[in-house]
A = this chain, B = another copy of it.
Amino acid sequence: MKESDNLKEISVVTNILKANDRIAHELRQGFYKSGIFVINIMGSPGAGKTSFLEAIIPYLIDNDLKVGVICGDIATTNDAKRISKNNIPMVQIMTEAFGSSCHLDATMIHTALGQMNLDGLDILFIENVGNLVCPSVFDIGEHARMVVLSVTEGEDKPRKYPNIFQKADCVIVSKVDLLPYLKIDKDEIYKNLRWVNPKNEIIDFSYNDKIYLDKWMSWYKKFIKV
């Protein structure tokens, strides 16, 4: 690649991010006025983002919270189908329609909101495209960022993909029920998470254990009071 190509790319990417950030800022203001807390959920493909939503949504409904979901995927409506059994407001964004984008951006969220009834919503989860790199760059108007990291991915991922963990308010360490069958040291995962970001919340997660949902709820209550 010629240097001139690189420079051209950087200049245009800067313009796009500026436009994205402006829309994201407007979205965030709108959410705030409507009393909706928006959480951007990121993580590798198969990390357990949708499984976390499948577990937390009925739990939040039981706690009298009204929840909505926007799912982002390149193709298929699988995630939306898994979540839709809760009968909540939800929209699936297929980024095939946006050049098979590897991340969600603020314009896609703006488009999706036009197809959703947000009345009385307390929490809107936005499940990003499975990718530990690109989604971290794009503000989509969220108030908090979560990363789901599966223990099966190995101990060193926070150090290898630092940006997404640096910007996360909460990290879900998922599939901890598989630890007995893996040569993985969970303490090492925690150490690497802390090395990258000493401040954010780290919560274990396993689909069948409600105790982790209680911990998530404590974090959520603490966070919205800030």
Which residues on A are within 8 Å of B, measured CB to CB? 1-2, 5, 8-10, 12-13, 15-16, 19-20, 23, 44-46, 73-76, 78, 99-100, 102, 105-107, 129-134, 150, 152-154, 156-157, 159-163, 175, 178, 181-182
Q: Tell me which of A1, A160, A182 has the highest count of chain B C-beta atoms within 10 A of its own C-beta.
A: A1
Assess whether A5 is in contact with B15, with CB atoms less than 8 Å apart.
Answer: yes
- Which residues on the B side are within 8 Å of A106 (C-beta)? 1
Q: Which residues does chain B contribute within 8 Å of A19, judged by CB atoms?
A: 1-2, 5
User: A130 touching B132 by the CB < 8 A rule?
Assistant: yes
B residues within 8 A CB of A16? 1, 5, 8-9
Interchain CB contact under 8 A, A157 and B45? yes
Q: A75-B159, A76-B156, A152-B150 are in contact. Are A132 and B45 (CB under 8 A)?
A: yes
Q: Is the pair A161, B130 in contact by a Cβ cutoff of 8 Å?
A: yes
CB distance from A166 to the nearest CB of B (A): 11
B1, B102, B131, B161: which contacts A20 (Cβ < 8 A)?
B1
**Cβ contact within 8 Å between A157 and B23:** no
Least Cβ–Cβ distance between A182 and chain B, in angstroms = 8
Instruction: Give min CB distance, A198 to chain B, whole Å.
Output: 17
Closest CB pairs A-B (n = 6): A46-B153, A102-B133, A152-B152, A1-B107, A1-B19, A44-B44
Asked whether, in the complex, the Cβ of B75 is within 8 Å of the Cβ of A160, the reply is yes
B8 touches A15 (CB 8 A): yes
Contacts of A131 in B (CB 8 A): 102, 131-134
Residue contacts A-B, CB under 8 angstroms, 9 given: A1-B105, A5-B16, A9-B13, A75-B159, A76-B159, A102-B131, A102-B134, A133-B134, A150-B152
Q: Given the complex of chains A and B, what is the CA–CA distance between A45 and B44 in angstroms?
A: 7
Task: Say whether A178 contacts B159, CB under 8 Å.
Answer: no
